[in-house]
Chain A
Amino acid sequence: MATIAVDERPPAGARGPGGPPGRSSRRRPGSRLKRRNTLIGWSFILPNFVGFAVLTLVPVITLFYLSLTSWNVFGAAEWVGLDNFARLLRDGSYHTALTNTVYYAAFHIPLTLAASLGLALLLNRKLRGVAFFRTVAFFPYITSIVAIAVVWNMLFSPEFGPVNQFLGALGVENPPGWTTSADWSMPAVILVSIWRDMGYYMLLFLAGLQTVPAELYEAARMDGANGWQRFWNVTIPCLRPTTFFITVMLTIQSFKVFDLILVMTNGGPGQSTLVLSQYIYAKGFVENQFGYASAVAVSLFLICILITIFQFLWNKRRDA
Chain B
Amino acid sequence: MTTVPAVPATPGAPAAPPSTPSSTAAGGRPLRPSRPDAGPARLLGRGLGYAAMVLAAAVILLPFAWMVISSLKNNNQVFTVPVQWVPDPVVWQNYVDIWSRSDMTTWLKNTLVLSVAVTFLQVVTGSFAAYGFSKMHFPGRDVLFLAYVGTIAVPWQSYMIPQFIMLSNAGLSNTLWSIMALQAFSAFGVFLMRQYFETIPDSLCEAARIDGMSEYGIWRRIMLPLSVPAIASLTLLTFVNTWNDYLGPLIYLRSPELWTVQLGLKTFIGQYNAEHALIMTGSVLSVLPIALIFMLGQRYFVEGIATTGVKG
Contacts and interface: CB of A to CB of B under 8 A. Distances in A.
Interface stretch (A82-90, A92-100, A135-143): A135-143
Contact of A147 (B63, B125, B155, B201): B63
A45 interface: yes
Given A16-B209, A136-B60, A249-B191, A206 B155 contact: no
8 contacts: A10-B202, A18-B135, A44-B131, A47-B125, A66-B162, A120-B28, A221-B12, A241-B199
Given A16-B206, A245-B192, A131 B298 contact: yes
A47 B152 CA distance: 19
Contacts of B286: 144
Task: Report the 4 A-B pairs with minimum CB-CB distance, sorted nearest first.
Answer: A44-B132, A51-B185, A304-B153, A124-B28
A231 B29 CA distance: 10
Contact of A60 (B151, B198, B236, B306): B151
Interface of A: 1, 4-10, 14-20, 34, 37-38, 40-52, 55-60, 62-63, 66, 73, 118, 120-127, 129, 131-144, 146-148, 150-152, 154-155, 160, 195, 200, 203-204, 206-215, 217, 221-222, 224, 226-228, 230-231, 234-235, 238, 241-242, 244-245, 248-249, 252, 255-256, 258, 276-277, 280-281, 284-285, 290, 293-294, 296-297, 300-301, 304-305, 308-309, 312
B20 to A, nearest CB: 8
Interface string B188-221: 1111100110111111011001000001000100
Contact of B63 (A57, A151, A255): A151
B27 A212 contact: yes
B157 A231 contact: no
B152 A249 contact: yes
B38 interface: no
Nearest to A140: B60
Given A135-B291, A207-B301, A249-B152, A227 B233 contact: no
A122 B166 contact: no
A290 B161 contact: yes
A244 B295 CA distance: 27
A139 B160 CA distance: 29
Interface of B: 11-12, 14, 20, 22-31, 33, 50, 53, 57, 60-64, 66-67, 70, 79, 81-83, 124-126, 128-129, 131-133, 135-139, 141, 144, 146-155, 157-163, 166-167, 181-182, 184-192, 195-196, 198-203, 205-206, 209, 215, 219, 229-230, 232-233, 236-237, 240, 243-244, 279-280, 283, 286-287, 290-291, 294-295, 298-299, 301-307, 310-311
Contacts of A58: 166
Given A45-B144, A241-B196, 18 more contacts: A16-B206, A37-B136, A44-B131, A44-B136, A44-B219, A48-B128, A52-B185, A60-B154, A124-B28, A131-B298, A134-B301, A136-B60, A139-B287, A151-B63, A209-B301, A214-B307, A248-B149, A301-B150
Contacts of A118: 25
Contact of A41 (B26, B136, B167): B136
Prevailing SS type, chain B contact patch: helix
Contact of A48 (B79, B83, B190, B203): B190
A230 B27 contact: yes
A16 B205 CA distance: 9
Contacts of B14: 226-227
Given A151-B63, A207-B233, A277-B157, A42 B137 contact: no
B82 A52 contact: no
